[in-house]
Structure 1
Amino acid sequence: MSDRTPDRPPPALTQWEQRTEVPLLAASLLFLLGYAVRVLAPRDAQPWHDISLALVGATWLLFVADYAVRVRLSGLGHRFVRVHWLDTLVLLLPLLRPLRLVKVYTAVQKRHEVPRLGLYARVMSYAGLAALLLGFSAALAVYNREHEAPGASIRTFGDAVWWACATLTTVGYGDAVPVTPVGRTVAAFLMACGLALLGAVTGSFSSWLIQVFRREDEKGPPGSG
């Protein structure tokens, strides 16, 4: 009977993930680039539309192949979908793939005996990086669906970026709002992510301040002791 636990993946799966994390990160950024070109380039900008479509399709097939290999190496079978639900979600929503950059950066940090950044600095840097990637991806997705929709207030990519910034920061000015079902779904997801990221940053900053003040209290006034 195997002594492997759900928290300890098979060595073959761990080795596969270590070998593919950087290539898959590159593929994720290429996917985002291809999608951005397809959304932002003028309709008559050939052959860029065909090239971007081929790039998006090829990278997504690469993600599918990686997912299939990890399902097989995990030994979980169909349970992999439930246990690794985030990987399944990212496969279905490829615009989230660039967030692998956070995972890769975490893995690089773990390879050092002493992390280059403190815990609170890492949390804030991860949150900032995730916000940047999520905001750009959401702006692309919303602009793609909204700019030609009847009654839409998001007509340019600049409008979409402004909307993404206001949504992520939970400000919500209301001057630019999605009107399509897909746009509103993206907006709901982005609002939830904005609340989570804002909570992570403010919580980490507050904890850091408390830790600093506690150290100052333990030192006592100058000349004491």
Structure 2
Amino acid sequence: MRLRTGPDRLRGWEQRTELPLLVASLLYLACYAIRVLAGAAPLWADSALVLLVLIWAVFAADYGIRLVLSGQGARFARTHWLDTVVLVLPLLRPLRIVNTYEALQRRRAQPRLSLHGRVMAYAGLTSVLLTLATSLAVYQQEHGAPGATIRTFGDSVWWACSAITTVGYGDVTPVTPVGRLFAVFLMACGLALLGAVTGSFSSWLIQVFGREDDRGAPEGRRPPEGR
């Protein structure tokens, strides 16, 4: 019987746990939202906090198991930097939905979406998750701060939407150091996502127009296939 290597064991573990961990990450985001928005309902807030700690413990256990199965030791943190980041900042855990999609597609012969479709779908979903998570985090920091302009969750969502789209109206802005740190992070992510979507869409248009030109060109004037 062939002895399974470290990467084989790691891949098998990730395929079995990716979908349950995605559900857990969405539950974590929901519990965090309850914790932030509960207001004068301490029972809900305390219950959400307990669930947050338990779910984070599941994330930490998964990280430790994958660290052992990989056999990479300390190098695992560098080769799996996204996993390390979301362990420290578990609010970003839903962003691993890209990894979940790839793990599910490995069980099929081919992906259901084209490369351009996947890029735009990933970017759109990531934008929604980032906007929601950052809105919650900034609202938690800002709504009670002296001189704050973000006083309601609606203000925070409005600010996050303008920040991730790089519009930045400036009518509401973070005033706390942590809130401004989240703002820098969100603006950087917005630029990266906008560039990814724009580049993918432009590439798709070029391919479409190229195919139309090939179909419309006379037989003798069509470019060679290798060019």
Give the structure-1-normalised TM-score.
Answer: 0.91
- How far did 1:220 drift? 1.6
Partner of 1:53: 49
117-126 or 8-17: bigger deviation:
8-17
Say whether the 8 Å CA contact 1:10–1:73 is kept in structure 2.
yes
Alignment of 1:178-217 (within 5 A): 178-217=174-213
- How far did 1:84 drift? 1.8
- How far did 1:35 drift? 0.5
1:156 aligned onto 2:161: no
Partner of 1:26: 23
Aligned partners of 2:161 and 2:6: how far apart in 1? 38
Aligned partners of 1:79 and 1:156: how far apart in 2? 43
1:39 aligned onto 2:18: no
1:125 aligned onto 2:121: yes
1:70 aligned onto 2:49: no
Which residue of 123, 127, 140 corresponds with 1:144? 140
Cα deviations by residue, 1:93-127 (Å, 9 ceiling, x for unpaired): 00001112222123223433232111111110110
Aligned partners of 1:114 and 1:17: how far apart in 2? 19
Partner of 2:225: none
Cα deviations by residue, 1:113-153 (Å, 9 ceiling, x for unpaired): 23211111111011000000011000000000000011111
Say whether the 8 Å CA contact 1:146–1:155 is kept in structure 2.
yes
Aligned partners of 1:116 and 1:11: how far apart in 2? 25
- How far did 1:9 drift? 6.1
Aligned partners of 2:104 and 2:111: how far apart in 1? 9
Aligned partners of 2:39 and 2:212: how far apart in 1? 59
Partner of 1:4: none
Alignment of 1:155-174 (within 5 A): 155-174=151-170
Letter in 2 for 1:36: A
- Contiguous gaps of at least 5 residues in structure 1: 1-7
Percent of paired sites with the same residue: 64
Letter in 2 for 1:34: C
- How far did 1:81 drift? 1.8
Aligned partners of 2:88 and 2:188: how far apart in 1? 19
Aligned partners of 2:164 and 2:107: how far apart in 1? 32
- How far did 1:76 drift? 1.3
Aligned partners of 1:84 and 1:219: how far apart in 2? 45
Aligned partners of 1:163 and 1:206: how far apart in 2? 28
Give the structure-2-normalised TM-score.
Answer: 0.91
For these two proteins, the number of residue pairs brought into alignment is 216
Q: Secondary structure at the match of 2:158?
A: helix
Aligned partners of 1:11 and 1:115: how far apart in 2? 22
Aligned partners of 1:171 and 1:154: how far apart in 2? 17
Partner of 1:5: none
- RMSD (CA atoms): 1.6
Aligned partners of 1:15 and 1:106: how far apart in 2? 13
- Contiguous gaps of at least 5 residues in structure 2: 220-227
